[in-house]
A and B are shown apart, each in its own frame.
Chain A
Amino acid sequence: MQLILQKKVFYNKFKQIFSMFLNDKLALISIIFLIFMVFLALFGPSLINDSFTKMNLRLRNLEPFSFDHNFMYFFGADALGRSMIARLIIATQNTMFIAGSAVILSMTLGGALGLISGYFGGKTGNLIMRIADIIMSFPSLLLAVIVLYMFDPGLLNLVLVLAFTRMPIYMRTARAEVLEIRERLFVSAAISMGASNSRIIFKHIAPLTIPTLITIATLDFAFVMLGESALSFLGVGIQPPEVTWGLMVAQGRNYLQLAWWLAFFPGLIIMLVALSLNLLSSWLRIVLDPRQRWRLENIGDKNE
């Protein structure tokens, strides 16, 4: 009986979320597109035949949208005659991996630091926030350029730099949330019950901050991706022969008048992924805010 009830509750919850998705068609399209991109990043490279990624001088700068060749050449080929589609898929993996690791790293580290700073306050807390201020007070792109110039541009350094420059967002948000939640009565209740600090942080405070951090992370994924591509574009990001979408745009820039598609398609994909993430994040923000939720739940809003 209990189990059936639980199942029903779960089912209803699922239905509710699903119907909220349906009410926001753009969010639905975004999530489908993003799932497709994640699939490509995970399995794409292993599905591509090697011949498409090898030089093929006969197909140099092949124009897109022609059916004369294999489907893999539908978006054309690059200056070395490699299939654009194959290149894009390989770049997907790199781009997604870099942005994903940077976001996860900055979210966990920044979130944890913010949590500590907010909960314990005092000198340590202030010091942590001052560090966040210093990082924030400087343009992140320039900071990344400088750091990558001092050390070596490369995959690991790129991830670290991107994570580092985005950390303050999570630190500030987590801290602000903690400062607010810490004053709530259920935390006082737990303290007067004798709960330990770790219990209060992990059981009472963290579960309430995580949804906000995830919403930010969704948006930040787009930001980090744009940052990575800008760095690769400037030549201090990922280095050839590795490839990301940003690097493809940079390389295509030299052939702009000869073969516009080399720079155009990777840039378009960057924008579409970033847009999907933005749409998803704005949807998440509404879903997680009970005061705005009715906008999505309200099925009968036709006239207004």
Chain B
Amino acid sequence: MSNNVNSLLKVSNLAVSFDTVEGSINAVQGIDFELNKGQTLAIIGESGSGKSVTASVIMGILSCPPGRIKSGEIFLNKQDILKLSEIDRRKLMGNKIAIIFQDTLSHLNPVFTVGAQIAECFEVHKNYTKKESWDKAVKLLDRVKIPNPYKRAKDYPHQFSGGQRQRVMIAMALALEPDIIIADEPTTALDVTIQAKILELLAELRDERNMGLILITHDLGIAAEVADKVIVLKNGKIVEKGTLKEVFIKPKHKYTKELMNSIPGKFNQRYKRSDNIDTNPILEIKNISKSYDTLACDNINFNLFRDEIIGIVGESGSGKTTISNLILRLIEPSSGCILYHGRNIFDFDKKELFNFRRKVQIVFQDPYASLNPTMNVFDIISEPWIIHNDFLHKKLHQARISELLTSVGLKPSDSKKYPHEFSGGQRQRIAIARALALNPEIIICDEAVSALDVSIQAQIIKLLKDLRKQFSLSYLFIAHDLPVVKDLADRVIVMKSGEILEEGNVEKVFNKPVNPYTIDLLKSSPSIEKLLSN
């Protein structure tokens, strides 16, 4: 193996730990892998699996302390870079091996122009003049398809959109035509259509220059689209490695199998809503428009019935969150009305609004931000009862909280703990328990599973389905992620720039989409179906 002429990078027996109060935590525990020319290796893992730590170690940017490299060798062109001096190592970085980060806004220096930041690569590693470097930078911006590169090179990172910033980052990584590019979750914060274009660009550049690409991702769909080889990490250990097909079609390890089963969008186990339900909608959204500086949503109409799940899909800026805020009456519309059992919620007086608030609840995207860190679970879940103090007698709070915690899959003894003692998925369960506390009719889920790992996502989706059956709830499920909606919704609404482009039954929208945008959206969405059908 070691005399493999195509070998670019070989990592063997790498182990990294972090020193904390509770002792040292082993983030990476002896992993091995190899990357060849022109090849894409996907490192798949959920949060805390050690995938980003591995990338930091390869690039020599791990903060030590608290990090510590315990053992291992990293061969770049037959040379162990962990044995090099700091200065020699720096000479290789950006030159032979480069990295693309996830959060581009914080990873680009805010006070320098993007042109200068790309040009810096040439100034550091080659003896180019300022002018030469700048011209090269402009050329690179053009290569990654930034329109008007001469002018744009003089702009600062915050003046670009997320997708464009990611292109700038790619241009920077490409500058010195490195042998290897590491892409650490390169498309996580981006919309699906933009994500597809970025992935396409990366693959194109890889083939053009015969580079090795390491793609670090939590998204199995993305891995399926571009990878040749795959390793699956869990708790700092490799649980499975092999070619893409081996891992995806015939996974051996229990965890990998579980992961493959968690992939959303399989149309199976759907709960069929009974058709003989009352024809009066709970919620009627009528000609609602809301404008800030621009039109956030424009003449929106739809109805929500009892025991129904509507999925609202759209990319950032489509106006989907504005609709959720309008229904919650957190903001007032510019025109139009929302009828709740036939009464306009914007005409409600204080008392009616108070009663309405009891019936509509929300679960937010970020379970870290939606729970008050200074309150324990008991206080969090009982808060709705303290606000609506006629709902449940104080003596019954404890018993009801135990019931609710059990029904969302937590333990009654968890009620004394604080939010920071839970994982992301568990916190989302707490948020759901709180939403259930007042026996609502409608729960709005605003990107409620977007921030979670796939396996956790699948669990929460299953929980939402079960709860719906149990309490005959209606959900308004807002997401940018198509497969998730496919699993859960009865009806789907596709939005773009504040307008509804397509609406209909879930089978119809997914199988026979009409609107070109919907078709594009479905095509862009990475999925493993294409791989499986081959």
Contacts and interface: CB of A to CB of B under 8 A. Distances in A.
- Contact present between A and B (CB < 8 A): yes
B179 to A, nearest CB: 33
B416 A2 contact: yes
Nearest to A206: B374
A190 B383 contact: yes
Interface residues of A, number: 28
A190 B386 CA distance: 11
Given A184-B369, A188-B362, A194-B388, A207 B374 contact: yes
Interface residues of B, number: 34
Contacts of B330: 188, 191-192
Interface in A184-239: 184-186, 188-196, 199, 203-204, 207-208
A187 to B, nearest CB: 8
A297 B434 contact: no
A192 B361 contact: yes
Contact of A192 (B21, B65, B362, B431): B362
B21 A185 contact: no
B357 A192 contact: yes
Nearest to A9: B416
B106 to A, nearest CB: 14
B19 interface: yes
A298 B20 contact: yes
Given A194-B387, A204-B372, A297-B20, A189 B362 contact: yes
B299 interface: no
A289 interface: no
Contacts of A203: 372, 375, 383
Given A188-B330, A195-B383, A195-B387, A299 B357 contact: no
Q: Which of A186, A203, A304 has the most CB of B within 10 A?
A: A186
Contact of A189 (B329, B364, B438): B364
Given A193-B357, A194-B354, A194-B358, A186 B370 contact: yes
Interface in B197-232: none
B361 A185 contact: no
Contacts of A185: 364-366, 369-370
Contacts of B374: 207-208
Contacts of B383: 190, 193, 195, 203
Given A298-B20, A298-B66, A186 B416 contact: no
B42 interface: no
B361 A193 contact: yes
A294 interface: yes
A301 interface: yes
A297 B21 contact: yes
A80 to B, nearest CB: 55
Contacts of A137: none
Contacts of A49: none
17 contacts: A6-B416, A184-B369, A185-B370, A186-B369, A186-B371, A189-B364, A193-B357, A193-B438, A194-B354, A194-B358, A195-B387, A203-B372, A204-B372, A208-B372, A294-B66, A298-B19, A299-B21
**Considering the complex of A and B, which 5 residue pairs feature the smallest CB-CB distances, nearest first?**
A194-B357, A185-B370, A297-B21, A185-B369, A186-B372
